[in-house]
Amino acid sequence: MFIHRYFSVVKPEQLFYFQGKRITLWIIYSFLIGLSCCIANSYFGAPDDYSSNYVYSEFLEVYNRFIEETPAVIVILFDADGKIRLRNLIYLMFCFITIFIQNFIIFFCGFKIRRKMYHKNNNYSPSLRKLHNQFFKTLIFQVATPTILLVIPVMIIACLPFFQFEISLPTGFLICFSEIYPAIDSLIVMYIITDYHKAIKDFFNDMKYYTCC
């Protein structure tokens, strides 16, 4: 979405990359990101004997389940001798690099869009200028929301193994938020873009009218 918006505002002459067969490139890009995450979780983050034994009692006490019977990703950076466990280190590095690349793309596109809009705003009509500003505000909220509520907590939790803290944190809320974020993303658009906001308001007013009648 951010890349498409970037090309729409900054390089509209290259929008052909999102048309016809070329759109397959973006599907492949998304597929490769998902595939790399699956490989990382299945191999580098998969439980082994040491990690399973390490969390066995805690897992049984908190969740009342056996770790061997539950799909899980366990990251323990150091073994009993204080040596780094390479598999889990690679997993953490993969997580950091993936998050950095995706957020770099988002912030780069947002910066370029804002810069281009600033120079072109005087050439736009007031209504189009207002629409572009609303789109930019939408992008800011769409970046800030997952960054504050998802990315930053995940980064903090991912850094904990480096300091060998033995604390128990409920991380289920991160999974829940990742599931409801698409809905929140749509609500952001509906709230900020005036046309969407007005259409929804008219829809509920019409419902109220027909209900009263």
Q: Which pLDDT belongs to residue 199?
A: 77
Q: What is the pLDDT of residues 196-213, one digit of tens each?
A: 777 777 777 767 666 655
Kindly report, residue by residue over 86-129, the tens digit of the pLDDT.
888 898 888 888 888 888 888 888 788 777 777 766 666 777 77
pLDDT of residue 213: 55
- Extract the tokens encoding 41: 């979780």
CA gap 92, 88 in Å, rounded: 6
What 8-state DSSP symbol labels residue 11?
Answer: -
3-state secondary structure of 193: coil
Cα dihedral 46/54/94/155 (nearest 10): 130
Q: Report CA 72 to chain centroid distance, whole Å.
A: 20
Averaged pLDDT score across all residues of the chain: 79
Angle, CA 82 vertex, CA 76 and CA 84 arms, to 5°: 55
Rounded to an integer, what is the distance from CA 34 to the centroid of its chain?
Answer: 12
Do residues 94 and 48 lie in contact, with contact meaning Cβ atoms separated by under 8 Å?
no
Do the beta carbons of residue 136 and residue 109 sit within 8 Å? no
Q: Alpha-carbon dihedral of residues 124, 128, 129, 135, nearest 10 degrees?
A: -140
What pLDDT does residue 210 have?
61
Domain ranges of the chain: 2-44+75-212
For the record, the structure tokens of 43 come out as 């191999």
Q: What is the pLDDT of residues 2-43, one digit of tens each?
A: 787 778 777 878 888 888 888 888 889 889 988 998 888 888
